Structure 1
């Protein structure tokens, strides 16, 4: 009896129950394969867990938590090399969950620039593709470096052939190839400041070894799109997504399959697939909007699935992937020939970016795809366009007279400058290295200087 009493005193497990229901969807779920637990987090004080072999949910105190207090839980969950991590949904801060505590491990900050990005793990590193933040959609790829504890921008090998900026895209990783499907982007077909975003129906493939994008085609079925809070999952070499129906995308055979409509395919959220047990871990909402409830469900994936009764071509046309690739090769050769012919010709005055009334223009059109920091940095370069700036002055530009370490400012400078160069090179259709003149100071060779290339500015 004494042993039981001591256990109850020192254990931080608060209770056990078979059913777990929430009043809101501001939660995050995860699968801990190392300890064979399903995890649910809904605030900064405690979490819920259920053993793979148990039907009971337990509530447990978080002993130490460095995540800022908030009403929701704005973090994505990742399980890498038997460790559990939380990453800010807008990209940036990284925390490790271990020993019932959440500890910050990064040297970064809350970027707030890639909300609703498509996240994935590749070679045990965390990646964010696309997303939305600071009033713009993104098509950048960022990854977290566990050694430096910083985020870095992954540069594409061909900036002239990249997907349109987007959020909410499906992504599916097969070996070294990342497939990106659909999503939402800015609707430029209206002048209204607040309008519904445009749904995308394209499919792209990024080879993560060569960093080269390939456009595969457009979806034939235009009727299914990702909605915020809905999930998708990869299982047995196929991608599954539910929205009213359960869809299966078969990339190998270029086929889209679907089931009959079912309620759970409409109200299920945050789906995750447990590859060890062939189970699906998800949140199921009821249909009562006046009294919405969200139940945590663990179910055998074969029971969750229905018979796929509909089958159609994945792509808009009947062309095979090989024919599409052949067309892309021809187009690529044409682009290369066009590029070299254009490079030989003398640049005209109109092939310049100009500053007018505090706004940047190219060929009389305003440039609107720059982030605020990229815009401010370009303005800074324009103010000193007739002089070469020491690189340390560019780093000082990012200082806000606070105690931010110089190394952090340097990395931030590199990230912003890289993004700026990528976008300007895309606009001007030139190489990124041609945008700036990089040189050493004539008096002190240790000092590196940078200046806008007057050929393009």
Structure 2
């Protein structure tokens, strides 16, 4: 398997150039047929996609460019290669074999981790981190004054964008998978939403929550690369052999696994036509080689997992409303069920009980409660039948019945804190009397269970 991977690794390499230092920068170039690799000593030009030519700079590097080349942010604007000082401010142009400064600004140090991009006639810088805060500001370079201007934006703006994944298509800029920091404790927080900025009216809109399968928690701080390829967004993360192709028009993500192309290459990279131009470092010698990999065939052969890119906000809230409604119904049903269970009393031969409470009852009391276990309304004559004795008057039975029911009610109320039995006369005939079990109580006889 390892041999096959190595074979694939070298078979997809179109050409390569070895470098002695990691301080270099790959630029797209003015033509789709070649690109540049800038170093401190000079620059390489890939000519005719088969070889490199080294050239010295036609002029010395400006003294203001006092940082490593690989920390600069490159952008191609109107077939020209511009380089931005880290944190914003100083802007350089690589042209005619030299790097020259084109701004009249100063090192802002206010937008580290920002995104530099070109749209129509302007160069923009968005987001970043500086002075203990993440920013969602948008600045535009004024070619006439040589300075940067703030662009006011409206809508659902993110609360700071640091190290985001960006994609520009038509007049829209998309951003997701970025960090924000709370200024008082500097704690990083990942934003899982996808936002879009209209570059005509500069109005923000939150589209929804991105698919959590795209980036797992253990990749939270890992570096990433993203490119525009075939009008889609191609992106990957360090130490992960999988890379993704996002189609924003159809809200889909194609996940492709490759052990060589993205996993072995890294650092500053660009896409030229159907090739990924990137750096590969030899783990033994530390030597860095610039290689070009054909990615078209790899993407076409990759399996489409049918992943969604993001969940629409309205769709997300519909799920939330459904879940809340379901939970409310479930809670009501469970409350009703447990309320009924909680009010069910178990009656056996000499005890009535509920949970850990119990009350002893005599034979007459047990028979009265047994009647109420069968029906909630018991006519007076059915209870009277329990108290008639041979040789005793009816008046004796009535008094004994009333005393027994009153004593039973008092005993149960004292232990269970609820009155069990009530009596009521019929509206049609006041002589007809009936006893009713409290609506909140249910008696279950042990013999029935």
Q: Would the TM-score normalized by the shorter structure come out above 0.5? A: yes
Task: Give the Cα–Cα distance (whole angstroms) in 1 for the partners of residues 293 and 189 of structure 2.
Answer: 34
**1:167-212 Cα shifts (integer Å, max 9, x gaps):** 1111111211111111122268xx866x6x3332210011111211
Aligned partners of 1:48, 1:227: CA distance in 2, in Å? 32
Equivalent in 52, 57, 60 of residue 55 of structure 2: 60
Partner of 1:166, secondary structure, is coil
Q: 2:171 is matched with which residue? A: 176
The corresponding residue for 2:151 is 154
The alpha-carbon distance between structure 1 residues 80 and 228, as it changes in their structure 2 partners (threshold 3 A), is: farther
Instruction: Give the distance between the partners of 1:250 and 1:28, measured in 2 at CA.
Output: 28
Whole-angstrom CA distance in 2 between matches of 1:84 and 1:227: 29
Higher RCO by CA contacts (8 Å cutoff, separation 6 or greater)? 2
Choose the corresponding residue for 1:246, options 228, 243, 247: 243
1:257-304 Cα shifts (integer Å, max 9, x gaps): 201252432343333222xx3222222345x3x754432122323145
Match among 102, 114, 117 for residue 117 of structure 1: 114
Provide the residue aligned with 1:200 in structure 2. 191
User: 1:262 aligns to what SS in structure 2?
Assistant: coil
Q: 2:255 aligns with which of 255, 258, 262?
A: 258
SS at structure 2 position matched to 1:266: helix
Residue 282 (structure 2) pairs with residue 273 (structure 1): no
What value does the CA root-mean-square deviation take over the aligned residues? Answer: 3.0
Match of 2:42 among 26, 34, 46: 46
Question: How many residues end up aligned between the 2 structures?
Answer: 296
Aligned counterpart for 2:181 among listed residues 180, 186, 203: 186
Deviations 1:113-158 (A, max 9, x none): 1111122111131111111122221111111111221101110134
Residue pair 2:75, 2:116 contacting (<8 A) in 1 also = no
1:163 aligns with 2:152: no
Once the two structures are superposed, what CA deviation does each residue of 1:288-340 show, in whole Å capped at 9, x if it has no partner? 3x75443212232314535134221222x4x5x7757999xxxxxxxxxxxxx
Aligned counterparts of 1:35 and 1:127: Cα–Cα separation in 2: 23
Q: Does 1:100 align with 2:100?
A: no
Q: Deviations over 1:55-94 (max 9, x none)?
A: 2112211121225354621322222223222221311111
SS in 1 for 2:136: strand
Distance 1:278 1:145, change over 3 A: same
State the match for 1:236 in structure 2. 230
Q: In the aligned structure 2, how far is the partner of 1:153 from the partner of 1:33?
A: 28
Indicate if the aligned counterparts of 2:133 and 2:182 stay in contact, CA closer than 8 A: no
Q: Which residue pairs with 1:132 in the alignment?
A: 129
- Asked if the contact 1:169/1:226 (under 8 Å) is kept, the reply is no
Please report the TM-score for the alignment, with normalisation by the length of structure 1. 0.59
Are the equivalent residues in 2 in contact too, given 1:183–1:226 (CA < 8 A)? Answer: no
Unaligned runs of 5+ in 1: 1-16, 328-457
1:347-401 Cα distance to aligned partner (Å, 9 max, x none): xxxxxxxxxxxxxxxxxxxxxxxxxxxxxxxxxxxxxxxxxxxxxxxxxxxxxxx
Distance 2:244 2:32 in 1: 31
Cα distance, 1:281–1:129 mapped onto 2, change above 3 Å: same
Conserved 8 A contact 1:24-1:292: no
Structure 1 residues 198 and 262: CA distance shift in structure 2, 3 A: farther
Query: Counterparts of 1:207 and 1:183 in 2: how far apart (Å)?
Result: 19
CA distance 1:59–1:226, shift in 2 (3 Å): farther
1:378-393 paired onto structure 2 within 5 Å: none
SS in 2 for 1:258: strand
The structure that has the greater radius of gyration is 2
Runs of 4 or more consecutive aligned structure 1 residues displaced over 4 Å after TM superposition:
225-229, 321-327
Residues 1:294 and 2:288 are matched in the alignment: yes
User: What's the TM-score, normalizing by structure 2?
Assistant: 0.59
Contact 2:28 2:34 in 1 (8 A): yes
1:145 aligns with 2:142: yes
5+ residue gaps in structure 2?
1-13, 320-449
**SS of structure 1 residue aligned to 2:306:** strand
Deviation at 1:240, TM superposition (A): 0.8
